[in-house]
Structure 1
Amino acid sequence: MASISAVLRKNKKADGTYPLVIRITKDRKTTYISLGHHVALSDWDAKKQRVKKSYPNAPQLNNMIAKRLSEASSKLIELETNNTDTSSQVIGKAFQKAKENTFFRQADLYIARLEKAGNFNRISAEKPRIKRLKEFLNNRDVYFPEIDVTFLKDFKAWLKGTRTITERTAVNHLVVIRSIYNQAITDKLVDPKYYPFGKGGIVIKFPDSKKSGLTPADIIALENAELDEKPNHARNLWLFAFYFGGMRASDVLRLQWSDFEDGRLYYKMGKNEKGGSLKVSPKAEAILAQYRRDNPKHNLVFPDLEKLPDLKDKAAVQEYIKVRIKANNKFMVKAMEGAKVNKQATSHKSRHSFAQMAKGVISASALQEIFRHSDLKTTEGYMGNNFVNEEIDSAMDDVMARLSLTTQK
């Protein structure tokens, strides 16, 4: 019968600690599996095979040790049930394979898959969340069974205690953990019995948020404000996005002059690759006129990304887009002050503003086409995706007309 225990190996480190391992012994042959931690002799209870209370985060580490011992025993029983060789080396290799499926190893795979799929927006948002979990764990890796309800509650409390964040932002961190956990279960690397989400565990629930936008009067005030160069540029980007149905800021910054043809803008939304076209309104054309110049770098309409050597590295482009959006949001504060409108107008507010103004003017189906929230119809690909929808054109004109009526009052 094999002997499985948690011990400290005798390989003393310079700081006086010893490697914590699972020791598997059978037929006088021993295999050691590292648990990724080093413990001082004064913090180790050899008889109980656990760290003492004096060790930092002792409950979490002891929980992990108990689970690793249980997993090693389960792996031994599984091998014996299947009449498989149960030498210490075979048991060790089987356990090692399971042990390597740690959270951050799977997180790396998760990010790699997003990159392969071209989901750079999600990568830029979720990488920092994974990094914060690693910070919470003092840069150590963690096994999936360790991520239980208590762990998640502690992490959420730590986030709110160390950073000024909203409830929604804290929940977004849990969503990433859940996605990686689901990936590991789907790949049959983790037993679903450990799953800490859903009924009986952590239920992901986003708090209600007020998605308010600017009123027509606010937008007219913004249009007419006298502004310095940088706030003016930020205002132009915001209004341009609004004029095209709340176009995403990242898509606005990537626009090239070749995207415009015969008075229309043709582009694919970066978030989901949905394509289509929209009519260029006179207000949008007035902004474009301010940026026409000879030989613009990368053929970009707006100069924000001209600093980049090229636009081929999508990950680098997306990272720099985040920098530019943050900077432009900062200058929008000054733009709103210049317009004497006491409201926030971040880049995404253009989308909310358009949606509110469109209510009662644009049909649900037309608005879904403009926002590209649903699957595009096959006719959208007609003539090389140069899809022209008269209902959308008319609806866009109606929204612009509302602005004109507000100006006249």
Structure 2
Amino acid sequence: MATIQAVLRRKPNKAGLFPIAIRVTKDRKSSFLFTGQYIEEKFWDSKFDRVRKSHRNSSRLNKLVAKKLSEANDRLIDSDTEGTGQSAKKIKNKIIGKTKLDFFQVSGIFLENILRRKKFDQHYNQEKRLNIFEAFLGRKQLSFVDLDVKLLKRFEAYLLYERKVAPRTAINYLMLIRTVYNLARKEYHVDDRNYPFGKGKIQIKFPESEKIGLNTDEIKLLETESDLTVAQNNAVNTWLISFYFAGIRVGDILKLKCSDFKDDRLYYRMGKNKKIVSLAVPEKAKKLLYQYTSMQQHNNDLVFPYLKGSNLNDDKQVTIRVKTITRNLNRRLEMVAEKLGIKKKLSMHIARHSFGNISGDRIPIQMLQKLYRHSSITTTVNYQSNFMHKETDDALEKVINF
């Protein structure tokens, strides 16, 4: 006789949360059906096999678990009528066969998992991409059997030639679809025979991206231009602060506080990987920052006023605000570039490329790794290779200069 029980699996995900599963046991061997829901271990009541009331979504989660148990028991009864010579795995497969989720159901679970990890920026981007995929299909249901190579190639062509996205952006869409498909394979036992990715199918290969930064003359124009509106001047100053600190990301700049500056050094925690960073404040940066810090009344005030009034403890609200502010900054920077005759694209992210462009091959790669705050030297080498041209330029000149 097989038994079915709701359990909390002991292997946590990257966020430290544990999966709720339905365990099917037969002849002392168990197999598991995952519900796609994760909670902290302290919220699971192992005595009654349910989520504790102290969890904010306990009622909804327990209803889901009860539903899954009911469905599994119904399938188990059907399975038992077919004979006793079935393993726990076979019984599980029979249960799964009638309760498979489609692509968009699994993608919903995927998005929920991102929210639980409080990756609001990632959630915003991935949800937007999934909405575009849904709009392309013209329907809200898609079985994994129908998600084949032909469909994905049509979608890629749609992105490239109708939506006019960059090739690298199109690859990001395909990576997202692959990630959702892999989640379905791992936790919902979707048949691998229809998997559309891999050799001879859809292969994920990132095209090289063009990284072009400003040169010293162009940056001097930004430093000295005075005929700008207040909004344009603030945008340029924000860009210059990013450049002066080796390309600090815009989200981190907007959250800088006066208290982050101590003894002529900047101390802050990176939003991307939570690393603590300490950098000396260059003289150019001191003069520029004084324009903003001298107007602040409290040491805990933000340096730049863009996020003023936002609840900095609300990560979701801050993420949305940063996106809006960045768009506005980039629009003003484009106006400045046009006014100054700078032909290159000018945006907040280009500050990082500009630092790489000017440093070129003049600074040891190990030092650049520290300045960029890269975890791996390989990342620094690959990034900086976009700007290290001296040796190849000299070699080219030697060949053709005869």
Q: Do both proteins adopt the same fold according to a TM-score greater than 0.5, normalized to the shorter chain?
A: yes
Cα distance change, pair 273–299 in 1 and its aligned pair in 2 (3 A):
same
1:146 is paired with a residue whose SS is coil
For the aligned residue pairs, the C-alpha RMSD in angstroms reads: 2.7
* Structural mapping, 1:140-151, within 5 Å: 140-151=140-151
Q: Deviations over 1:179-204 (max 9, x none)?
A: 11222223253232222111121011
Letter of the aligned partner of 1:96 in structure 2?
A: K
How far apart are 1:238 and its partner, in Å?
0.8
Cα distance change, pair 375–205 in 1 and its aligned pair in 2 (3 A):
closer
Q: Is the 8 A contact 1:297 1:306 kept in 2?
A: no
What residue number does 1:346 align with?
Answer: 347
1:144 is paired with a residue whose SS is coil
Inter-partner Cα distance in structure 1 for 2:85 and 2:108: 35
Inter-partner Cα distance in structure 1 for 2:343 and 2:154: 38
The reply to whether residue 305 of structure 1 matches residue 328 of structure 2 is no
The reply to whether residue 247 of structure 1 matches residue 248 of structure 2 is yes
Cα distance change, pair 79–373 in 1 and its aligned pair in 2 (3 A):
farther
* Structural mapping, 1:24-173, within 5 Å: 83=85, 94-98=96-100, 101-173=101-173
How far apart are 1:167 and its partner, in Å?
1.6
Cα distance change, pair 82–306 in 1 and its aligned pair in 2 (3 A):
farther
How far apart are 1:79 and its partner, in Å?
9.8
What residue number does 1:272 align with?
Answer: 273
Q: Deviations over 1:305-332 (max 9, x none)?
A: 1142x11221221111111101100000
1:266 is paired with a residue whose SS is strand
Inter-partner Cα distance in structure 2 for 1:263 and 1:312: 27
Inter-partner Cα distance in structure 2 for 1:239 and 1:264: 17
What residue number does 2:288 align with?
Answer: 287
Cα distance change, pair 360–159 in 1 and its aligned pair in 2 (3 A):
closer
What residue number does 1:224 align with?
Answer: 224
The reply to whether residue 322 of structure 1 matches residue 323 of structure 2 is yes
Cα distance change, pair 322–106 in 1 and its aligned pair in 2 (3 A):
same
Letter of the aligned partner of 1:264 in structure 2?
A: R
How far apart are 1:301 and its partner, in Å?
1.2
The reply to whether residue 367 of structure 1 matches residue 393 of structure 2 is no
Inter-partner Cα distance in structure 2 for 1:311 and 1:272: 18
Structure 2 unmatched runs, 5+: 1-77, 378-402
How far apart are 1:114 and its partner, in Å?
2.2
TM, length-normalised to structure 2: 0.67
Inter-partner Cα distance in structure 1 for 2:324 and 2:309: 12
Cα distance change, pair 82–156 in 1 and its aligned pair in 2 (3 A):
farther
Inter-partner Cα distance in structure 1 for 2:84 and 2:157: 44
What residue number does 1:386 align with?
Answer: none
Inter-partner Cα distance in structure 1 for 2:328 and 2:299: 20
Letter of the aligned partner of 2:155 in structure 1?
A: F
What residue number does 1:202 align with?
Answer: 202
Larger radius of gyration: 1
What residue number does 1:402 align with?
Answer: none
How far apart are 1:77 and its partner, in Å?
10
Q: Is the 8 A contact 1:221 1:341 kept in 2?
A: no
Q: Is the 8 A contact 1:224 1:339 kept in 2?
A: no
Q: Percent identity?
A: 35
2:125 is paired with a residue whose SS is helix
Number of aligned residues: 294
Cα distance change, pair 273–375 in 1 and its aligned pair in 2 (3 A):
farther
Q: Is the 8 A contact 2:267 2:279 kept in 1?
A: yes
Q: Is the 8 A contact 1:221 1:339 kept in 2?
A: yes
TM, length-normalised to structure 1: 0.66
Q: Is the 8 A contact 1:213 1:349 kept in 2?
A: yes
Letter of the aligned partner of 1:299 in structure 2?
A: D
Inter-partner Cα distance in structure 2 for 1:256 and 1:128: 31
Q: Is the 8 A contact 2:171 2:205 kept in 1?
A: yes
